[in-house]
Amino acid sequence: MVGYDYASAITGCTTDVQGRFALRGQSFELLADGSVASGGPGRAPGPLDLLVSALVANMLNVLRDGELSPSDPAGDGDDVSRVVQVRARVSRYPAGRLKAGRLKVEVLVDGLDAVATAALLEVYRDGCRILPAVETVLDVDLHAASSDDAAA
């Protein structure tokens, strides 16, 4: 297709393993499985894992750099590099619901307490372009964790 500027281009093909697929981008290759319910072998990430992984990778990238921090707005030239941990868990809804389930995301940002992390997550939520896509499939609960939560 001429005239398109692609931000991402992925190709995929089936493999010799039933329910396993090879995915390739310009600079990576990975294996993915169909869902176990649809015959995937359950040993590689499935579609839901890949969707949630995209959000987690985006959060780690943005929150690590501090570009959305209310106290350090994007474009001010200061380099910020934080240690960030994200734990994301999906609970499935019963069949027949519009959305597949609920995604609980707990975020711990080194050097920030839960209140500051929660404020950072609100700014992230307001500016994120990946989150709305995920929210079409899952109800998303972003939660600021504290170092006390991580120790438990």
| Mean pLDDT rounded to a whole number for the chain | 88
Q: Which residue ranges make up each domain of the chain? A: 1-45, 46-151
Dig out the tokens for 84 from the structure.
């960030």
**pLDDT for the residue 150:** 55
Domain 46-151: CATH class, spelled out: alpha beta
Buried b (16+ CB within 10 A) or exposed e, 101-137: bebbbbbbbeebebeebeebbebbeeebeebeebeeb
What 8-state DSSP symbol labels residue 37?
Answer: G
**pLDDT for the residue 147:** 73
| Dihedral over Cα of 126, 142, 138, 25: its sign | positive
For 85, how many CA atoms within 13 A lie in the half-sphere containing its CB? 12
What confidence tens digit (pLDDT) does each residue in 79-126 have? 668 899 999 999 999 989 999 999 999 999 998 999 999 999 999 999
* Cβ 20 vs Cβ 42: under 8 Å: no
The whole model's pTM is what?
Answer: 0.82
